[in-house]
Amino acid sequence: MGQAEPATESSWQTPPTPGWPALRGLMPANVRIGSAVDGKLLATDERYRSELAAQFNAVTAENAMKWVNLEPSPGVYDWSESDQVVKFAQANGQAVYGHTLLWHSSVPAWVSESWPRERIRELLRQHITTVVSRYRGKIWAWDVVNEVLAEDGSLRDSLWLRKLGPGYIADAFRWAHEADPDARLFINDYGTEGRGRKANGLLRLVRELRMAGVPVHGVGFQSHLRWDRAPEDATGNLRRFAALGVSVAITELDVRIQLPVDAEKLLDQALLYQHMLKACLAVSTCESVTLWGFTDTSSWISSHYPGFGAACVFDSDIRPKPAHEALVQELTSRRGTPPG
């Protein structure tokens, strides 16, 4: 990685990195290519900033917009890192995908389940309204609810379900819509990119929400994959969601490898990245493919999956891997091909 250098707003408008193609320049006009952003690297690493600006036309704050980070104590919001991400994106012509308004893993420690139902409901309403209002007009799409399903496709047992009942999901979408009527509102989950019980549950849930008039505009498929397992019929799966009238998006794509890395595994990884890009491009309402970080330096994988790593399309020195080349090749071969 490059030497740590302090970020200034003028240094954010960085020229494209010479030497390898930029994904953002090759994408079809109606589909964005994004990356999760590591707030610390954004603030300190010029090479990181430069490649992020060159490659992607959308960004998602990897952690900065999570409730637990935004509101460390009741009523006291810390916008510093999330504002930095938004400013960087604006300076570099990137759309911002907001992640996430409600996630069972990101409830501030000061929230107590012993509080009465109405207090918790009002707290959630206020949180969603505060965050969405602050960034009104600056966020292209929000993950309104993240990971609300259990593995069998039923609703996940969470504080929100226990205290508020299943209606909390519709409420969250309605509150977000009131705060920014132009933002695209997504429901996001993992393990749903291929067909299976969980994806079936998500399909049912989205259908019900839409039939009830809830403003759900899109479904995000996280796509945290292993190098040796492709999701079951990702294209067909995305299509059945699109048939409900919603957009779809690949929101957190990465492909972890069991260490040690070798050339064959890197090739398998490249093919899976390409596979997911193709699945998105095969669906006319697919809005974006977002990578969950672009360099192996900042990936969450090594700390969460011992023995795995190297999940991104750039290595830890920010040099492109075969996966980047595969995405470039796929996009180059399609230029001029109509989407869908």
In the complex, the smallest distance separating the C-beta of residue 69 from ligand G3I, rounded to whole angstroms, is 8
Q: Which of 71, 180, 252, 296 binds ligand G3I (CB under 6 A)?
A: 252
Q: Which is nearer to ligand G3I, 20 or 190 (CB)?
A: 190
Q: Is 297 in the site for ligand G3I (CB under 6 A)?
A: no
145 vs 246 by CB, closer to ligand G3I? 145
Please say which residue, 224 or 265, places its beta carbon nearer to ligand G3I.
224
Q: Of 8-16, 58-66, 179-187, 242-250, which segment contacts ligand G3I by CB under 6 A?
A: 58-66
**What is the amino acid identity at position 197?**
R
184 phi-psi bin (left φ>0, alpha ψ -120 to 50, beta other): beta
Closest chain position to ligand G3I (CB): 300
Question: Taking a C-beta distance cutoff of 8 angstroms, is the pair 251, 221 a contact?
Answer: yes
Does 222 engage in binding with ligand G3I (CB under 6 A)?
yes
CB of 140 to ligand G3I, least distance (A): 18
Is 254 a binding residue for ligand G3I by CB under 6 A? The answer is no
**40/210 with CB nearer ligand G3I:** 40
* Minimum CB distance to ligand G3I, residue 303 (Å): 7
Kindly state the smallest distance separating residue 147's Cβ from ligand G3I, in Å: 7
User: Which of these ranges, 61-69, 158-166, 212-220, 327-335, lies near ligand G3I under the rule CB under 6 A?
Assistant: 61-69
Check residue 62 for interaction with ligand G3I (CB under 6 A): yes
CB environment 221-232: b (16+ within 10 A), e (fewer): bbbbbbbeebbe
Nearer to ligand G3I, 62 or 71 (CB): 62
Distance CA 155, CA 164 (A): 13
Q: Tell me which residue of 322, 221, 254, 231 sits closest to 36, measured CA to CA.
A: 254
Burial label for 9, CB within 10 Å (0-12, 13-18, 19+), is exposed
CA distance 262 to 321: 12
Select the residue interacting with ligand G3I from 63, 84, 158, 288 (CB under 6 A): 63
- Applying the rule CB under 6 A, the residues between 145 and 204 that interact with ligand G3I are 146, 190
285: tokens are 């309402």
Positions marked active-site: 147, 252
Range 88-117, binding ligand G3I (CB under 6 A): 105
Looking at the Cβ atoms of 66 and 265, the one nearer to ligand G3I is 66
Residues near ligand G3I, by CB under 6 A: 62-63, 66, 105, 146, 190, 222, 252, 300
